[in-house]
Structure 1
Amino acid sequence: MLLDETGRAVGTAPKAQVHHADTPLHLAFSLYVFSAGGELLLLTRRAATKTTFPGLWTNTVCGHPGPGEPVGAASARRAREELGLELAAPRLVLPQFAYRAEMGGVVEHELCPVLVVEAPPDAVPSPDPAEVDQTRWVRWADVVEGVRSGGLAMSPWAREQVGQLARLGPDPARWPTADPALLPPAARADQVPGQYS
């Protein structure tokens, strides 16, 4: 979904045609999957064949909702497609995250709400090699410290998100759930029926 500067939908375009040197603003999401209790975060390494930011470590799942698809449902769908994980409904924690980043002449330019969810205790990722080269569980405190020190090389959006998430407190299980009314208009239920639940 392509967006104007206020976050309202202004059209759609195929993903393959959106990411280039002058990428238009569009709607995305980032999902952070934690172990039970929130101590460990499942990091993923983007496949080397990805168009944008290949080979970088990042948060668990990133993606784009389809028109009319709730961001929570889109994140669960992508976790299933990329990692074979069946997850409970995620919680919205950063409804207004936005960023622009460039690598190798390809730009990402997104309004990108951030969601979190706890994985089932028996969850074992089964990565799709077209999407994910590697996974690892890392202590959340180590992720925060690694991003702050520069010792953990991550995608530019994940670096910014980790900084904002750390300000919510040290325990991911206790982060407040954000009001869906703060989502970009294109992702809000009052603008697009069924858009967030």
Structure 2
Amino acid sequence: MAFSVTPYPSDIKGLGRKVRVALGQLGEPVPEGSRLSLLEPIPVYSGRSARLGNSLTKFVHPSGRRAIVLDDGRPIALLDLPANPEHSSKPLSIRGHDAARALFSALREAEQLPNRENTELEVRFVIFHSLSVTALWLMSEHSVFIPTRVGSADRPKPMTFSEPDFIKLLRRCRQRLRRHKSTSGAVNR
């Protein structure tokens, strides 16, 4: 099994200072002398919960890139980068170690998947903002999803989902959100 990432069409070197400043503001300072490195930015796709079909590729759209900043092999920050770096290669957001570790754990889980000879998986990330669902997406004829957030701020233990099972998970989260909105609306009236 081989993993591929569509290369990011821009040079993103020189972000170390911005990462250090942002992490300092988050209360997660980077020790002096740290040697930061960056994993190849992964394409990010966004979807709307109102449009859930039977194939994920039909109801999501490219929305940017996501990269993990490492300090001596440890994930310390997560960068959200623009989809089109021709306009700007500045990070859209820089988040701390919690988000970075979640994506890093999902990547490690992906490495443990059973070997599928002659299968190439394109590494992507998918976000459903309104449902608070995010997942590593290993795109292929038989895509695999490893959620990093499922309907709350909590981080789930890495586990794999087939595409049909991931779509069922999205639908359950949408139902839960609708029930919550209808009961909180009744209370607030």
TM-score bracket for the superposition, by shorter chain length = under 0.3
**Rg (Cα) greater in structure:** 2
TM-score normalised over the length of structure 2: 0.27
More strand by share: 2
- When normalised by structure 1's length, the TM-score is 0.26
